[in-house]
Each structure stands twice: as C-alpha cells, then as structure tokens.
Structure 1
Amino acid sequence: MLTLEYSDVKSLRFYNEIKNKISGCIDKYNGSIVSPEEIKEIILANPEDLINLNNQLIVQVIEDFDQNEFETYLKLNKKSRAQNSKYHNKIKEINEVLNYARIVGSDYFLADLLNQATCIHCNRNYTITIGNKNSKIVRPEYDHWFSKSKYPLLSISFYNLIPSCSSCNKKRSNKNFQLDTHLNPYKMTDDEKKFSFSFRKTNFIENNVILKINSKEDISKQKIENHFRDLCLNEIYNKHSNLELRDLLDLRYKYSENYIDLLINTLKNNLSKEEVYRLVFGIEINEIDFHKRPLSKFKKDIINELLNIK
C-alpha cells in the first residue's frame, strides 16, 4: 500500500472540471436529490468526513432511510430491486446525477491530475496514463475506497477515487473498507506504515516472501493485516519469489559476501544514492517516489535486509 498526498488544489481542479457535467441533472430533479452546494461539498470532502456526509444527505433524499434495510436491498436481484420503490427509484436518480461512468469513468482528466505511475494498492502494475479523452489508450482504474453501491453519494468524490490496477480493483470489488479497519492512502499514520517485506527459506533453493509488521498499536497491525488479506497481497508478492526476490538473493549469495554493498558504494562515487538504486535495481528508494517504479517498496525492503546480513 502506497500513500497519496492531500491536495486542495487538485481536488478543486477536479470539481471545476466536472461540475458542468452535473448541473443539468441537478436541474432536472429541481434539487430534490442534492443541491449544487452539497454536490461541491461531497466532491471535495476529506476521507474522514465522507461517510458522515453521505449519511447526513441520504436521509434527505430518501425518506425513512435505514442503512441495514438498504444493504438488504442491495443484495436483491435486479427484478426484486425494481419492485422496491422506496430505494430503487431514488437510487436511480442519485446515480443519474452522480453518474461515475459518465462523469469520471470515460475521462482521462483525473488520471493526469493524480499522475500515479503504479497501483496504489500493490505497487506491482504500472498505471501510467497514455492518451486523453479524445485519444484513449490506457489509464488507471479507480477503486472506490468507500463502496459506491453502499454509499451512492460518494461515487465521484475526489478522495474516494484511488488509482489502481485492474487486478486490485477487481479484487476489492464491494468489500467494506472503513477507516478503522483498513489502510487508506490519504490517512496512513506513521505507525500504519511500519510494515516491511522480508523472506524465509522454504527449502534448499526456494524462498517465500513474508510480511513483517512492526507497528506498536494493535489497530495499526489489524489494518495492515486486513488490507493485505482482503487484497490477497501476500499471495501476489509470493508469486515474485522466483523472480525479483531470487534475483536479489543471487546478488547476495552467489557473489562476494558484501557484493551489493560494494556495488552501491562504488557507483555512489559518481551517482546519487537514488540514481544508483534506479540504475542497478530499477526502483525508487524514497517513499514519495515509490509509485514511479513497480515493486520499489518491496525491493528496497529486501535489499536493506540483505545489506544487514553478515
């Protein structure tokens, strides 16, 4: 899991880009869904405010709204949902006004604005944006950190759209992530960042990737464990055991005892430490730059451990 930085400038640019796509639909329902002022608040709100904002506004839109009853409604098939006018018609109206596919899903503006080169969840797959809205080639998918079906008013909120690879977005699906149960890229504390990748030998030639959690707080440990479990990140990284991990171990064990250290220090005479790691290992070593190269966090952790082995 990588981090994202808050940006009032980017969120406001995002709002200004999409507001005209929403205004006509708001007028169609004469403000019976949400007002323009409320729309702006929904789009710009920080992650810690989004659920409360959704809950405050949804009861204005749907009379006698009950969250448990609504979640039962979501489990119904399409035909059964259509017979439930209390939720069905109003949710259709909300989805028309805040239509993710029309407003965000087919556009490249947000991808350019966020400018994240790899998946925030796994840091394994590139999510580089190529093309634009007129010449579409590839861009990241957006994981709705708070499910857009469970929280329909948050479907186009800036801080609810996490740039992800297709694999992680599909794995996420409608799993119920909350701020007190999972890692949020905008809200990660220092204690929630205290995890690292390591390895253990399974037999003479094979090794497994393992996750080390060094957080002091139990809630931080649980969030990390939940996040890796629900996105199957342990399994995903273990698939790299015979690829990137083996290459790094070969450097350490098949050459001189301090080969990696020697290689780095020799090149550092002419290059910066960042340039050395980029040239030799194809990774970034500063947290803020992890997203620029796949597996940067993983490889940096493994290399640091290998350098400490005597």
Structure 2
Amino acid sequence: MLTLKISVSKALKFYNTIKPKVNSTTSLGLSDDDIKNLIISEPQNLIPLNSLLMKRIIPDFDQDEFFEYAKSKDNKKKLNTKYNPKTIDIKNTFKYKNIIGNDYFLADLLDQHTCLYCNRNYIRTIGNSKNKILRAEYDHFYSQSKFPLLALSFYNLLPTCSNCNKKKNATNFDIDSHLHPYLMTDEDKNFSFGFRKKNFIDNNVKINISTSNVSSQNKILKTFDDLNLQHIYNKHSDKELKDLLNLRYKYSENYIDILLNKTFKDLPISKEEVYRMIFGIEINEEDYHKRPFSKFKKDIIDELLKTP
C-alpha cells in the first residue's frame, strides 16, 4: 500500500475538467456547490456529505436499507422500491463510464507509475484520450453501487492495476477499518515487509507491524487481508526475495553492504542513484510508486543490512 498527498489544486483541476460533463439538470435538486463539494471534498468528509445529500434527495433515506437495495440482484424487485428512480437519476448525473472510463486526463493528472495497492504492476499512461493504449484503472474506495453520489469524487478514485481493482471490487472499505492512501498517518505507515527464514521457503514473506496503535494495527491487517497482498508478495518471492537472500547469505561477507557502501564510495552519485542502479528501486516514500516492489525491496534490504 502506497500513499498519496492531498492536493487541492489537482482536485480543483479535476473538477473544472469534468464539471461541463456532469448532467446537473436532473431532478436531484443538487446545486452547483453541492456537485463541486461531491467532487473535491477530502476523503474524511465524503461519507457525511453523502449522507446529507442522500437524505435531501430521498427524504426517508436509510443507509442500511439502501445497501440492501444496492446488493440485490433482483432487478424486478428493485424497480418497486423508493430508491430506484432517484438512483437512476444519480447515475445519469454522475456518469463515471462516460466521463472517466474512456479518458486519460485523470491518469495524466495523478501521474502514478505503479499500482497504489500492490506497487507491483506498472500503470503508467501510454497514449492519450485520442490514441488510447494503456492507463490505470480506478478503484472506488467507496463502491459505486453503495455510494453512487461519490462516483466522480476525486479522492474516491484510486489508481490501481486491473488485478487489484478486480480483487477489491465492491468489498466494503471504510477509513475507520482500512488504510486510505490519502489519509495514512505515521502510525498507519508503521508496517514493513520481512522474511521468516534465511533459506528460501514458500510463504517466506511476513508483515511486521511496529505501531502500538490498535486502530492502525487493525487497519493494516484488514487492508492486507482484503487485498490479498501478502499472498501476492509470496507468489513473487521466488524471484524478488530469493535474489536478495542469495546476495546476503551466499557470500562470507555482507555483499549487499559492500555493493551499497563500498563499490560506489568514491563516485559522485547519490544514495538514491545507487539503489536505483543496483536494485532498480526508489528508496524515498514519495517515489516508491516510480518502480515496482520499491517498498518491499527497501524493507527487505534494510533488514538484511542489520542481520548477521
């Protein structure tokens, strides 16, 4: 799980780009300010705003009742509920597929190079809106089915790879139970990747949680479990982890230490450049997204440098 920084300027640029495409002439009774707030509000404000506006749109709105409506596969039954007409209006107003689904401007605005969730797959934009080749998919942290008003909320659209987006799908995520890339505190970031055995074995990757904050502990564990992240890293450990273990333990000296601290000692290159050249990773948190497995490898290397 990687982090993103709140950016008022990016949120406003996103709003100004999509506002002309949002159909505000429906019967929802939303003002221009309401629509602007839905699009640019920060993550911690989205659920209260959603509740406020849904109760205005549907006076006897009940969140639990609406969740049941959203989960139902019985379209005939849904037609006869109080939620159906207004839900259709909401979807016609905030048309995610029409506005975001076929465009590249958000990918260019975010400029995220690898998946936020796994940091494993490149999602960097190739092409543009006229010449479409490849770009990120966007996970709705709050699912479109249960929170249709948030379909175009800037901070609800997280750039991910196809695999993570499908895995997350409509799983219930909440900022109180899961890590949110825009809201991760120092306590939320207190996890690292490690290994169980010096000799390579299956399921050798472990997650070390170093915070004593129970809420952060639970969010880290829940997020990794729901996204299957530990399993994903274990599946790649026969290459990514095994190579690092071999570098450290197949030689009499700590070869990783030699590579990092002695080989390039007299050359005018930065620590960041050394890690980039030797291991193909970035070592600063804000740059992890630029190379796959950066956090994973950085954590493992840090541990290997400390172990005898």
TM-score by length of 1: 0.95
Give the drift of 1:268: 3.8
- Partners in 2 of 1:7 and 1:219 — Cα distance? 25
1:112 maps to which residue? 108
Does the Cα contact within 8 Å between 2:200 and 2:245 map onto a contact in 1?
Answer: no
In the other structure, the counterpart of 2:286 is: 288
Give CA-to-partner distance per residue, 1:165-188, whole Å, 9 cap, x none: 111111111111111100000100
The alignment covers a number of residue pairs equal to 305
CA shift, 1:103, in A, is: 1.1
The match for 2:271 is 273
Partner of 1:21 in structure 2? 21
Contact 1:2 1:120 in 2 (8 A): yes
Deviation at 1:126, TM superposition (A): 0.5
Structure 1 position 231 matched with structure 2 position 227: yes
Q: Does 2:303 align with 1:308?
A: no
2:28 touches 2:89 (CA, 8 Å); kept in 1? no
Q: Counterparts of 1:174-189 in structure 2 under 5 Å? A: 174-189=170-185
Structure 1 equivalent of residue 28 of structure 2: 32
Select 2:126's aligned residue among 127, 130, 140: 130
Aligned twin of 2:197: 201
For 1:191, what is the secondary structure of its paired residue? coil
User: Residue 100 of structure 1 contacts residue 155 of structure 1 at CA under 8 Å; is this kept in 2?
Assistant: yes
User: Secondary structure in 1 aligned to 2:83?
Assistant: helix
Asked if the contact 1:73/1:81 (under 8 Å) is kept, the reply is: no
- Structure 1: tracts of 5 or more residues without a match: none
Structure-2 separation of matches of 1:137 and 1:238:
30
The question of whether the paired residues in 1 share the 8 Å contact of 2:28 and 2:86 is answered with no
What is the CA distance between 1:255 and its match in structure 2?
2.2
SS at match of 1:16: helix
Change (3 A) 1:262 1:177: same
Q: 1:175 to 1:196 in 2, by over 3 A?
A: same
Deviation string, structure 1 residues 229-251 (Cα, Å, up to 9, x no partner)? 00000100111221110000111
Alignment of 1:1-310 (within 5 A): 1-22=1-22, 25-27=23-25, 29=26, 32-201=28-197, 205-206=200-201, 208-265=204-261, 266-270=263-267, 271-310=269-308
The CA RMSD measured in Å over matched residues stands at 1.3
Equivalent-residue separation in structure 2 for 1:205 and 1:174 (angstroms): 36
SS in structure 1 of the partner of residue 196 of structure 2: strand
Deviations 1:141-199 (A, max 9, x none): 00101111111110000010000011111111111111110000010000110000000
Percentage of identical aligned residues: 55
Equivalent pair of 2:200/2:242 in contact (CA under 8 Å):
no
**Residue identity matched to 1:187:** L
CA distance in 2, matches of 1:51, 1:206: 44
Equivalent-residue separation in structure 1 for 2:112 and 2:265 (angstroms): 28
Deviations 1:57-81 (A, max 9, x none): 0111123111111111122224234
Q: Distance in 2 between matches of 1:269 and 1:167?
A: 43
Where in structure 2 are there 5+ consecutive unaligned residues?
none
The C-alpha deviation readout for 1:190-217, integer Å capped at 9, x for no partner, is 0110000000129x54251000001110
- SS of the residue corresponding to residue 36 of structure 2 reads helix
SS of aligned partner of 1:211: strand
Summarize the Cα distance change of 1:307–1:183 in structure 2 as closer, same or farther, 3 Å threshold: same
Following the alignment from structure 2 to structure 1, what is the Cα–Cα distance between the partners of residues 17 and 265? 45
